[in-house]
Each structure stands twice: as C-alpha cells, then as structure tokens.
Amino acid sequence: MELIDRRAEPDLPTQRADARRAFRVMSAGGVAILPLSVSYAIFAHTALGVERIYALKKRPQTKPNGVIGNWDIFTEVFEVGERDRSLVKCLTLDHDLPLSVVAPFRADHDWLRTVEFGALRRSSKNGTMDLLMNAGPLHNELARMSLEGCRPLMGSSANVSGTGSKFRLEDLEAPLCEGCELVLGYGTSPHVNDFGMGSTIIELPTWRVLRWGGLFEQQARIVEREFGHVFPPRPTSGPWSLV
C-alpha cells in the first residue's frame, strides 16, 4: 500500500498530479482510496479490482457500484430528457454542488468499450447506472481522464458496508486501506455531515430521491425554487438511503 497523506486539500496542480497517479493505479488493475468532497471513496477500473472492493467493504453482492462522471459523460452516455438535463446542470454546474444520478445509459458508447463484463455488471442494474458528478477537483480530473481514456472508474464509499461514510483519513478501517494499492488523504472532506451520508442520489426520469445526502436540504430548496418540484423531506431517522 502506498499512503499519501497531504493532511489538507492541496492546490489544483497537486490534485491533478494525484489524479494521474490514481488513474494509473486503477487502470493497471489496482484499487485506490480517494478523498472526494462528499466523503472518502474506494474505486477501481478492472473487474478484479471491483471484486476486491466488494470483499474489502464486505459489500452485499446485490448492491451496484457508482461510477465517476462529469457533465460531458452524463450528456453523452445517459439517455434522459431535457428537463432531467436541466436539473443536473442546475445543481452541478450552476450551483457547483455534487450529485449522483441513477438513469438509463448507452451501453454501446465508446466510453464503455474497455470495461470488462464483470466490472460493468457490478456497476449497473436493470439498464441504469449511478453516476457521481462534481465531487471536487480530484474527482473532476479523474472524470476527465476517464472519458478521454475510455476507462470508467467504479466504486463506492470507503467504509465497511453499513458503517456510514467516512470523512477523515484516520476514520478509515485499517484492513480496507491495507487492501489497496494507493490511499490518498486530504484531511476532512469538505461536505462532512452528521448524517454520515455522501452524495444525494436522484433517479431519472422519475426525480425520486434514492439517498438523502449530506447536502440534500440545500439541493431541495434549489430544485423547489428553480423547478417548482418538492422533494420528500429527509426521514426523521435513518436509514437515509433506499439503495
């Protein structure tokens, strides 16, 4: 395991260099822990790497992974309507907030041409995929390289399943870290929250909330103001995720 603990979020050139290092590791079959803005996350590219994530997290086999993405991937690969695109643009580009969406995707797109069957099977369900967008500069650089290199990066929050998202490097379980080729630390995640939740997940085209993330209330106010759509409030107690 290679551990790089920068203790706080570094400047953009350093994050870009870290993204290149992590991308090389994952492209070669390794597993990396990444300090995203929504929480620490664990990602891989190959089918073997993805299976290692399930083993390290003790993740139920029925739960699909998320995929690192950006606006370009969303608009090119996902099959959604104009109103859905407006929602995603509003939250991720206009208001600079992270967001995950679950929506139908084009399995024949070039972006997916290098994906091994096992990795894609673990990262999709019933013709839909969970795409995480705008989760910080490191994430955005990885998304750019992912699209340009046609190498999707698939994973989940960096924690043993059922224990809640981790927002500090020191909170990560040691066996999880020791099972990875690369662990990056940037101090505390910018969107740390008391719910122990990462990104909000919205299903398209239904606009159904699948996970009430750490920034959900802020996102819900924006959506009500901009689109007149009222999301159901966060439940008064957990679980705050339907997936």
The pLDDT tens digits of the residues spanning 13-37 come to: 999 999 999 999 999 999 999 999 9
Phi, psi (rounded to 5 degrees) for 141: -70, -40
Q: What is residue 113's predicted lDDT score, i.e. its pLDDT? A: 86
Distance between CA atoms of residues 177 and 206, nearest Å: 37
Q: Which residues of 91-112 are buried (b: 16+ CB within 10 A; e: fewer)?
A: bbeeeebbbbbbbbbeeeeebb
Identity of the residue numbered 120: L
CB-facing half-sphere around the CA of 225: CA atoms within 13 A? 9
Element (H, E) at 26: helix 12-27
Residue in 8, 5, 22, 1 with CA at minimum distance from that of residue 142: 22
Q: How far is CA 164 from the centre of its chain?
A: 15
Distance between CA atoms of residues 31 and 46, nearest Å: 9
Q: What is residue 193's predicted lDDT score, i.e. its pLDDT? A: 95
Tokens of 30: 């390794």
Distance between CA atoms of residues 131 and 100, nearest Å: 5
Q: What is residue 240's predicted lDDT score, i.e. its pLDDT? A: 80
Cα-based distances in Å from 136 to 94, 99, 107, 239, 240: 15, 11, 26, 26, 23
Cβ-based neighbour number of residue 6 at 10 Å: 15
pLDDT in 10s for each residue of the chain, 243 residues: 999 999 999 999 999 999 999 999 999 999 999 999 999 999 999 999 999 999 999 999 889 999 999 999 999 999 999 999 999 999 999 999 999 999 999 999 999 988 888 888 889 999 999 999 999 999 999 999 999 999 999 999 999 998 889 999 999 999 999 999 999 999 999 999 999 999 999 999 999 999 999 999 999 999 999 999 999 999 988 778 877
Which domains, and CATH codes, for the chain? 2-227 (3.90.870.10)
Distance between CA atoms of residues 110 and 234, nearest Å: 37
CB-facing half-sphere around the CA of 222: CA atoms within 13 A? 18
